[in-house]
């Protein structure tokens, strides 16, 4: 099943398969982003209506079309059920082009090292694919789990880049900063 839809940009880790999102993933985008627990630290990311998940999917898909990478849907190998999403998108950070690292998983999958496994694969892949771009994560100060994932994926704290965001101060973690 998985093999029929494998593409060059699919990523495989020890336990996980990461695939470019398809419209079939909109239900999972909606379910995961409408659970208040997954947006506790980033309430501005929370979705309520399914149409918002459809719009979000299209934004993710546009990024894939423009850049050839973006956010992946994460599943256990051999399973069709999405566990979450992990990837990067281009953004401007204080006038610098960077790749913003993202991860959000359903709560039942937490605490098994899965986000770390996915984020590590994503960071390694984008660092090879776009070595000129720093990879950053913007993390709310109380979001310890997310900070740990960023560090495990090879990013280091870059406090000089901290900046306010929609949900409050974002602590910046970075890899591949050129200055
Ligand atoms: C952040 C998130 C993706 C982590 O997923 P996960 O699969 O549980 O992460 P892992 O199992 O790989 O654990 C990573 C580390 O965080 C730690 N951790 C996990 N949950 C934690 C918690 N609630 N509090 C403190 N530490 C926690 C783990 O012990 C591990 O630490 P270690 O590297 O020192 O061993 C998940 O909690 C999530 O989806 N949160 C909501 C979305 C979100 O906040 N995204 C980030 C926005 S910046």
- Looking up residue 128, the CATH number of its domain turns out to be 3.40.630.30
Q: In sequence order, what are the residues at sequence separation of 6 or more whose Cβ sits closer than 8 angstroms to the Cβ of residue 55?
A: none
How many domains are contained in the chain? 1
> Whole-model pTM?
0.95
Say yes or no to pLDDT of 2 above 60: no
pLDDT attached to residue 125: 96
The string of pLDDT tens digits covering residues 14-40 is: 999 999 999 999 999 999 999 999 999
Q: In this structure, which residue's CA is closest to atom 33 in ligand 1?
A: 148
Q: In this structure, which residue's CA is closest to atom 16 in ligand 1?
A: 145
If you measure from the C-alpha of residue 4 to the centroid of ligand 1, how many angstroms do you get, rounded to a whole number? 32
Domain range enclosing 31: 4-175
Alpha helices in the chain, H assignment, sequence order: 26-33, 50-67, 114-129, 144-152
Say yes or no to pLDDT of 134 above 70: yes
């Amino acid at each position: 099943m998985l093999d029929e839809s494998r593409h060059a940009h699919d990523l495989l880790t020890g336990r996980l398969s990461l695939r470019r999102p398809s419209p079939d993933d909109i239900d999972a985008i909606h379910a995961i982003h409408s659970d208040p627990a997954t947006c506790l630290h980033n309430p501005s990311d929370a979705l309520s209506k399914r149409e918002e998940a459809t719009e979000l999917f299209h934004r993710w898909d546009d990024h894939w079309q423009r850049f050839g990478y973006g956010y992946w849907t994460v599943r256990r190998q051999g399973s069709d059920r999405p566990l979450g999403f992990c990837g990067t998108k281009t953004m401007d950070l204080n006038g610098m082009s960077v790749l913003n690292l993202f991860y959000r998983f359903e709560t039942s999958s937490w605490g098994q090292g899965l986000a770390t496994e996915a984020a590590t694969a994503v960071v390694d892949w984008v660092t090879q694919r776009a070595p000129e771009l720093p990879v950053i994560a913007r993390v709310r100060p109380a979001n310890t789990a997310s900070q740990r994932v960023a560090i495990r994926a090879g990013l280091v704290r870059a406090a000089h880049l901290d900046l306010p965001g929609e949900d409050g101060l974002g602590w910046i973690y970075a890899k591949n900063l050129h200055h």
